[in-house]
Amino acid sequence: MSDKTYIDLPFFDETHRALERELDAWCGKSLQHVDHADADAACRGLVRQLGQAGWLRYCVPAAFGGALPALDSRALCLLRETLARHDGLADFAFAMQGLGSGAITLAGSDAVRERYLPRVARGDAIAAFALSEPEAGSDVAAMQCSARLSDDGSHYVLDGAKTWISNGGIADFYCVFARTGEAPGARGITAFVVDADTPGLTIAERIDVIAPHPLATLRFDNCRVPVGNRLGETGQGFKVAMMTLDIFRASVAAAAIGFARAALDDALARATSRPMFGGVLADLQLTQAAIGDMATAVDAAVLLTYRAAWLRDVQGIRTTREAAMAKMVATENAQQVIDRAVQMFGGLGVRVGTRVESLYREIRSLRIYEGATEVQKLIIARETLAAHAR
């Protein structure tokens, strides 16, 4: 049984507490038999299942089929933490519906929002977020994928590549960031929504990773996108991308907490049942020290993560610094918690099929995507120095 005492913290109100209880019960019933053998099929099935059960409604605002008037960070974090604790791929399927449609919610015209968001909320359309490129990962502003206005002004013509795109190959649409060139670097980028079946958009390569989920490199060759599919003003794409990441970065931290809690639960069960030296593993003081460190690491991540979510929801402020702190600490701590759990399991910890073994693979990419830990450190330092100078 996972520690649920955090849910009584003043960061949450009763609707959050009820949401967590209902989702936890639903996961216990509905995610027991997810077949992960084919990640594409599993992911499609999970999006449908999460949509039918109403959970994806938290990814879009109420005016377009969502559950709440605006995206609520605490709800998103609770959903991701709970899903991740039960099934990593279910968390992935949920997260990408939110991240993949976030730019539409934040910057799309009403017509575009009406066309995409209700389908996202029902699980009828699979979303993706296409920012990274082979030569522009951490250094997003170095992107080269271009979008030029057609001669008759009716379309943008996209050329270039995007890589590491989650849901690449199974998505129905991609929110794509491309260089329109109004200014150098970050100020010359614009966001677009591109349907997966648009001529000129192809899947160049599928990518296999250690914790399988749909992932691909996309190619754009003379790919014509209607002007109406632009998200926000020209030159504002970088800002749209960063605002989207500001919301979802804290939710990556929450997913890491879910993985860490699962590992801690399994470690506790193992330590209290594994006979050793005339007692059980948990009788040994070195084990107790590890458990003390693990429990504290989880709680520290919880406080930073739900602080960031609360500040955004209740104070309505941009939480760049707090979300970066949460993402850095939660993902790094989760990696350590899971590693310690693997150690406590001994040989069984690395045996394929043991849950801590899959968590060990699952957590690794969270320290890299949506800004690697080093990038989060720089964000925190920049914001802290700026606050000091004010």
Ligand X SMILES: Cc1cc2nc3c(=O)[nH]c(=O)nc-3n(C[C@H](O)[C@H](O)[C@H](O)COP(=O)(O)OP(=O)(O)OC[C@H]3O[C@@H](n4cnc5c(N)ncnc54)[C@H](O)[C@@H]3O)c2cc1C
What is the contact mask toward ligand X in residues 203 to 242, using x (rule: CB under 6 A)? ------x-----x---------------------------
Chain residue whose CB lies nearest ligand X = 137
Answer for the pair 230, 156: CB distance below 8 angstroms, yes or no: yes
Answer for the pair 42, 34: CB distance below 8 angstroms, yes or no: yes
Contacts of 81 (CB under 8 A, 6+ apart): 254, 255, 257, 258, 261
Nearest approach in angstroms of CB 118 to ligand X is 22
As a three-state string, the secondary structure of 361-372 is HHHHHHHCCCCC
Nearest approach in angstroms of CB 363 to ligand X is 11
One of 7, 44, 365, 383 touching ligand X (CB under 6 A) = 365
Q: Tell me how far apart the alpha carbons of residues 225 and 124 are, in angstroms, rounded to a whole number.
A: 22
Nearest approach in angstroms of CB 277 to ligand X is 41
Nearest approach in angstroms of CB 284 to ligand X is 35
Binding-site size for ligand X (CB under 6 A) equals: 19
Which residues, 45 to 74, sit near ligand X by CB under 6 A? none
Q: Which stretch binds ligand X (CB under 6 A): 105-113, 123-131, 338-346, 354-362?
A: 123-131
Q: What is the CA radius of gyration of the chain?
A: 21
Residue closer to ligand X by CB (options 299, 383) is: 383
**Position 365: which residue type?**
S
Q: Tell me how far apart the alpha carbons of residues 302 and 310 are, in angstroms, rounded to a whole number.
A: 12
Which residues, 148 to 167, sit near ligand X by CB under 6 A? 164-166
Q: Tell me how far apart the alpha carbons of residues 381 and 270 are, in angstroms, rounded to a whole number.
A: 40
Residue closer to ligand X by CB (options 191, 294) is: 191
The reply to whether 20 belongs to the active site is: no
One of 26, 55, 64, 129 touching ligand X (CB under 6 A) = 129
Q: Tell me how far apart the alpha carbons of residues 13 and 355 are, in angstroms, rounded to a whole number.
A: 32
Copy the structure tokens of residue 364: 């690794």
Q: Which stretch binds ligand X (CB under 6 A): 45-53, 109-117, 347-355, 374-382?
A: 374-382
Q: Is residue 368 at the binding interface for ligand X, with CB under 6 A as the rule?
A: yes
One of 130, 218, 247, 257 touching ligand X (CB under 6 A) = 130
Copy the structure tokens of residue 149: 């206005």
Residue closer to ligand X by CB (options 191, 301) is: 191
Alpha-helical (H) ranges within the chain are: 14-30, 39-52, 73-86, 88-107, 110-122, 237-271, 285-310, 320-345, 355-364, 373-389
Regarding beta strands 173-179 and 127-130, do their DSSP bridges make them parallel or antiparallel, or are they unpaired?
Answer: parallel
Q: Which stretch binds ligand X (CB under 6 A): 180-188, 242-250, 301-309, 370-378?
A: 370-378
Nearest approach in angstroms of CB 280 to ligand X is 37
- Which of these, 243, 245, 238, 240, lies nearest to 143 by C-alpha position? 238
Q: Which of 20, 322, 357, 370 is catalytic?
A: 370
Q: Which stretch binds ligand X (CB under 6 A): 24-32, 299-307, 332-340, 369-377?
A: 369-377
Copy the structure tokens of residue 138: 């951490």
List residues with catalytic annotation: 370
Q: Which residues bind ligand X (CB under 6 A)?
A: 129-132, 137-138, 164-166, 209, 215, 365, 368-370, 372, 374-375, 378
